[in-house]
Amino acid sequence: MLLTGAQIIMECLLEQNVDTVFGYPGGAVLNIYDALYEYQDRIWHIRTAHEQGAAHAADGYARSTGRVGVCIATSGPGATNLVTGIATAYMDSVPMVAITGNVNVDLLGLDSFQEVDITGITMPVTKHNFLVKHIEDLADTLRQAFQIAQSGRPGPVLVDIPKDVTGQKYEYQKQQPLPLAPPPSPSEECLQQAAQMLDKSKRPFLYLGGGVITSGAAEEARTFAKRLDAPVSESLMAQGAFDAHDPRYMGMLGMHGTKTSAEALHNCDLFVAVGTRFSDRVLCNAGLFARHCPILQIDIDAAEFSKNIEVDLRVEGDALEVLRSLLALLPQKEHPEWMQQVAVWQKQYPLTQTAASGAAPKDIIETLDRLTDSNAIISTEVGQHQMWTAQFYKFRQPRQFLSSGGLGTMGYGLGAALGAQAANPDRKVVNIAGDGGLHMNCVELATAAHYQLPVVELLINNSVLGMVRQWQKLFYGSRFSQTMLDTNTDFCKLAEAFGVKAYRIHNNEEIEPVLKQALAEKGPVLVDCWVDRDVNVLPMVPAGASVENPMLEM
């Protein structure tokens, strides 16, 4: 059938089973938004307050579902406002398709009004991007974009479409989504070597990364941990891949990981890393990481092998396929002395926290965890509250935790929460934020109110840029340069101005009754929790130190 380019975009989205998109209209996407009006009964468009919020919402939609998130923005500043969200998705391997408008084809390269080379700008932070200059290429390009975003190691793809292309007409024929490119498969020899290493180990350490969630291998990872009889640690991106209530779970490893994980790393005889890229926040000092034992790394992306640390055996492949193959080769192992020692460390080094005034972040998050039975979808901004969330909320399932790990994007969490809530209307979604992050994205409270998305904005309000201030306290002689947030913002009044109900917590006694009220609300709600500015994130590994020797106090 003969359709406009904009209608072809809609039909291609429907081909990919897209039911929700996030965006903001503008001149170069007028044709697209006119088509969205026509297709509004099949595609739900959520207009965010800012294009960056749309990118983060598409990201949250994708992380919480495993499906591709879609965002739309106009040319020029609309497109560039997406870039931080695209880079966030790229660093954390999130499948996303960003559709941008541009000026007419004959105006490209002339510094036209609201023109920018968005494909050039986003080249380093996308898996691939496209500029569609001919309408006959439009449908196939969009189909390819979705295929690339989901194949192998997922990531964002940008499709830039000039306005005149969206207005032209062309014959459209419906097609099924393209098959995903098959992941690499490890050789039988490689699998046998890995199985021998696993069978020989007496004190194995199993470390899970975000790739376990991406590949859908959480159940296999849990079975593998039991078969290997190993303790388990996770990266920030892997929260929920292993049930935090399981006694095998030791908490995170890395700069703000647990002392138990550090002791297990120091004493293990085999380090097994699945679906992780060994970021600097995990390794800390790469030259001092696991020097005493062999490292077995399983990853779908060959570029991650020996990029940040040398490993003894590389197994390239999808985590799900590799774990299934290894389970078929590995007999049931028993390491009672090793597991008993881990249990001793867990009792010896619990995560603790004291607060001189206000409400304690640990108590806030642990109460939230209990009231939601560890089953809420939790997003965060970036900073101290992000680490406290990973430490104290006991995630049970994959795709519960949404946070910017690689790029560390302040302002990410609220948009991500909106995307997750739109995708999961029957789930409780909570964004745990700092006051610095909320200052960056508070406009998205208007989006929550407009669409009555019942997100809980849980504000850990310590009136400082907490993580940066913590470093200033430790390494810069307590010279708190520009980290005191003395703005006097009344966040409850701000929320109410946007149409969001608000509560405040002043001390520990108020935590449970206020959180119960907030969680019972049918619409969006903000909870302003007053927290002592001198509460620090501990344990902590200082820059240049070994991850095996974290600081337990400051």
Residues belonging to the active site: 51, 113-114, 163, 467
Cβ partners under 8 Å of residue 303, min gap 6: none
CA pair distance 514, 504, nearest whole angstrom = 8
Q: β-strands 96-102, 69-73: how paired?
A: parallel
Please say whether the dihedral angle defined by the alpha carbons of residues 276, 59, 378 and 180, taken in this order, is positive or negative.
Answer: negative
Which of these, 489, 501, 513, lies nearest to 457 by C-alpha position? 501
Count, residues in the chain: 554
Query: Distance between CA atoms of 186 and 300, rounded to whole angstroms?
Result: 10
CB distance 342 to 260 below 8 Å = yes
Matching residue, tokens 């690339």? 148
CB atoms within 10 A of CB 512: 16
How far from the centroid of its chain's Cα atoms is residue 324's Cα? 25
| Gap between the Cα atoms of 500 and 453, Å rounded | 10
Chain centroid to CA 332: how far? Answer: 34
Q: Where are the alpha helices (DSSP H) in 218-306?
A: 218-228, 259-267, 280-283
Longest distance between any two alpha carbons in the chain, whole Å = 72
Q: Exposed, middle or buried by CB within 10 Å (0-12, 13-18, 19+), for 66?
A: middle
Long-range contacts of 110-117 (CB under 8 A, 24+ apart): 113/76, 114/26, 114/27, 114/28, 114/74, 114/75, 114/76, 114/77, 114/78, 115/75, 115/76, 116/75, 116/76, 116/77, 116/79, 116/80
- Give the span between the Cα atoms of 222 and 242, in whole angstroms: 6
Query: What whole-number distance in Å separates Cα of residue 206 and Cα of residue 208?
Result: 7
Cα radius of gyration rounded to whole Å, the chain = 24
Nearest-angstrom CA–CA distance, 261 and 231: 9
How many whole angstroms separate alpha carbon 401 and alpha carbon 208? 14
Helix (H) or strand (E) holding 169, with range, is strand 169-171
Cα–Cα separations (whole angstroms), residue 200 to 36, 319, 495: 59, 21, 58
Beta-strand pair 401-402/377-380: parallel
